[in-house]
Structure 1
Amino acid sequence: MSALTPRIAFMLTLPPLLWAGNAVVGRALVGSVPPLALNAMRWWLALALLLPLGWRVLRAPGKIGARWLHLALLGLVGVGSYNALQYLAVQTSTPLNVTLIAASAPVWMLLTGLLFYGERPGARQIGGAALSLAGVALVISRGSLETLRQVTLVPGDLLMLLAIALWSVYSWMLARPPASMRGDDRPAWNWAEFLLVQVLFGTAWATLGAGVEAQVSPAAIIWSPGVVAALVYVAVGPSLIAYRAWGLGVSTVGPAIAAFFSNLTPVFAGVLSAALLGEAPSWYHAGAFALIAAGIVVSSLPRR
C-alpha cells in the first residue's frame, strides 16, 4: 500500500461528508419513502447516470461472467446492503445510537483484516482507532458522559452493526481482490466501468429487497419536490462520487487507514444538523475534528 498523500486524504474525506448528508436525508424521508424502496430508486437513478460513462464494459459480457461471483458479492455487501440496512436502521434507532455503531468501523476493519486476510494491526493503528473513536464519542455526546450512559440497543442498532460489518468486508474485497482482478488478469476497466459493474449487481440486490418489502409491508411513496431532490442527491453524491473516491482511497492506502476517515461522518453529520437548525458549531465539534485528525495521523505513520 502507498503512503497517505494530501490528494488521497481529500479523496477519503469527501465520502464521509457526502454520507453524512445521506444520513440526514434518510432520516428526513422516514414516513415518505419506504427504506428499501428508497435504496432501490437511489441505485436505479445512479445506474442511469453512470451508464453513459461506463457502458463500454457491457461490450464484453464474458469478462463479467468469468468473475460474476466476486462481482456479485461486491454488489451485495457494498451497494445492495449497506444503505438498505442504514435506511432500515433509522426507522427504529436514534441518530445517537446509529452514529455510535457506525463509529466502530475501524474496529471492524481491523478485525476483518486479522481474521480473513492475516493482517495484524499495529500499535499505531490501535492507538489511532482509540483517538478517532474518542473524537466521535465527543461530538455525538455533545461533551456529556451522561448522554453516552443513556444509550440503549433497539433492532435498528443491530441492523446498523450488520451494515458496518458488511462495509468492512466490502472495503477489504476492494483492497485484496482475487487473482482474476489483479495485475494482467484484471480487465482494463476504468473507474466508471468497474463501478458500473458493481452497481449493476448491487441494483439487482436492491430491487430484490424492495420487492420483498412491497410484499411484506406495502407502503405508498408520498411524492414531493423535496423527495425528488433528495433522490437526486443520494444518487449522485453518496453513490457515484463517494464510491469513486472511497474506492480510489482504499486501493491506495488500504482499508485499515481508510476506516479512520469514515469516523468523520458523524462529525460532519453534527455540523450539518447544526447548520440546518441554525445553530453555530460548538467547542466539541472542534475537539472531535482534532481527535479524529490525530487518529488519522497516528494510524498512517510508517512503521519503523
Structure 2
Amino acid sequence: MQERLTFRTALLLAFGPLMWAGNAVVGRVVHTLVPPITLNFLRWALAFAILLPLGGWVLKRGSGLWPYWRRFALLGLLGVGLYNALQYMALQTSSPINVTLVGASLPMCMLVVGALFFGASVSRQQVLGALLSLAGVLLVLSRGEWQQLLGLRLVLGDVFMLLATVSWAFYSWQLTLPRDPPTVRADWAAFLLAQITFGLLWSGGMTAVEWGLGAAPIQWGWTLAAALVFVAVGPAVLAYRAWGAGMQRVGPNVAGLFINLTPLFATVLSAAFLGEWPHLYHGLAFALIVGGIWVSARR
C-alpha cells in the first residue's frame, strides 16, 4: 500500500536527482581526462565490485537469474550500456545544465514511448503537459532564441542526451513488465547487480570500439580517481537504492515529479564548481518542463 509523501520520503526521492546532477557535473569536469565510454565502463565496474558482496548470490547457477538472461541483457544494454555512455558523450560538448534540462523531458518521453510501444493510454491533459515540456526542451536547444529553431544546428551533446533520454524511457517501461524472477526483483542489490553484469559486457564492447577508433589516453590522477569513486558510489549505487525505496513508498507517479529537480541541482553545482552560471532561458525552460509534468500528473 502506498503511503503519503512525508519529509523523510521526500529526502529519499530528492537524493537521487542530487546525485545524478553531481554525475553530470563530474562528467564534465573529467571529460578531458578519460574517454566518455571508458568512463562509463570504469564507473560500472566499480559499482559491480561494490555490490558483489551484497547481491553476489544472484550470479550463482541456481539463483533464478539465468533463465531470464535475455531480459537482463536488454536492461543492461538500455540502462547501463547506452544511457550512461550517451550522457557522458553529451558532456563532451554540452554543459551539465543543458544536459540535465534536456534529460528533464524524460517523463514526457516516457509518455510517448508508452503510447507507441507499450499500449499505454494517453489523455488530452497529458498531451498538453507533453507540449509544455517539449517547449522547455526546444528553448534549451535554441539557447533562448526561438528564431534560431528555423535553422537550428544542434550541439552534438544535445543530440546524444536526447538519445540517452529515449534509451532510459524504454528502460523504465521495461521495468514495469512483470518478467523478472521474484527472488531477484525483491533484492535491490541483486537486481541491480544482474543488470550491471550484462551491462558491463555491452559497455566493454563499446569501450573496445572507442579505443579502436583512437580514443585519447586516460590521464590518471587524484581528480579522476575521486571522480570514479563518486560516480560509482553516489549516482550508481546509493541514488538507485534511495530512489527505489522512495518510489516503493509513494508510487511512480509522485516519485517521477522529483526527477525534475536534477537540472535545478545541476545549475547550483555548475555555478559552484565550474563557474557556468545559468542564463534566463535556463530558468524559463525549467519552469516549462516542470509545468508540463505538473499538468500531465494532475488528476
Specify every segment of 5 or more residues in structure 2 that has no aligned partner in the other structure, as ranges.
Answer: none
Q: 1:202 to 1:95 in 2, by over 3 A?
A: same
Correspondence 1:179-258 to 2 at 5 A: 180-181=180-181, 187=184, 189-248=186-245, 253-254=251-252, 258=255
Q: 1:214 to 1:285 in 2, by over 3 A?
A: closer
CA distance in 1, matches of 2:240, 2:76: 12
CA distance in 2, matches of 1:192, 1:44: 15
CA distance in 2, matches of 1:242, 1:219: 30
1:278 to partner: Cα distance:
7.2
User: In the alignment, which residue of structure 2 is the partner of 1:38?
Assistant: 39
CA contact (8 A) 2:16 2:242 kept: yes
CA distance in 2, matches of 1:17, 1:105: 16
Q: 1:80 to 1:225 in 2, by over 3 A?
A: same
Q: TM-score, normalised by structure 2?
A: 0.81
Specify every segment of 5 or more residues in structure 1 that has no aligned partner in the other structure, as ranges.
Answer: none
CA distance in 2, matches of 1:141, 1:297: 24
CA distance in 1, matches of 2:131, 2:174: 25
Q: Secondary structure at the match of 2:122?
A: coil
User: In the alignment, which residue of structure 2 is the partner of 1:54?
Assistant: 55
**Letter of the structure 2 residue corresponding to residue 166 of structure 1:** S
Q: Does 1:17 align with 2:18?
A: yes
Q: 1:151 to 1:265 in 2, by over 3 A?
A: farther
CA distance in 1, matches of 2:261, 2:28: 18
User: In the alignment, which residue of structure 2 is the partner of 1:272?
Assistant: 269
User: In the alignment, which residue of structure 1 is the partner of 2:156?
Assistant: 155
CA contact (8 A) 1:99 1:140 kept: no
CA contact (8 A) 1:88 1:159 kept: yes
1:240 to partner: Cα distance:
0.6
Q: Percent identity?
A: 51
**Letter of the structure 2 residue corresponding to residue 253 of structure 1:** G
Q: 1:250 to 1:37 in 2, by over 3 A?
A: same
1:207 to partner: Cα distance:
1.4
1:292 to partner: Cα distance:
6.3
**Letter of the structure 1 residue corresponding to residue 235 of structure 2:** P
1:186 to partner: Cα distance:
5.6
CA contact (8 A) 1:20 1:269 kept: yes
1:188 to partner: Cα distance:
6.2
Mean alpha-carbon deviation: is it higher for 83-92 or for 26-35?
Answer: 83-92
CA distance in 1, matches of 2:259, 2:175: 16
Give the total of aligned pairs: 296
What RMSD over aligned residues (CA atoms) do the two structures have, in Å? 3.5
Q: TM-score, normalised by structure 1?
A: 0.80
CA contact (8 A) 1:127 1:298 kept: yes
**Letter of the structure 2 residue corresponding to residue 22 of structure 1:** N
CA distance in 1, matches of 2:281, 2:94: 23
Q: 1:258 to 1:68 in 2, by over 3 A?
A: same
Task: List per-residue Cα deviations over 1:12-69 (Å, max 9, x = no partner).
Answer: 3322211111111111111111111111110011111111111122234462111011
**Letter of the structure 2 residue corresponding to residue 230 of structure 1:** A
Mean alpha-carbon deviation: is it higher for 42-51 or for 92-101?
Answer: 92-101
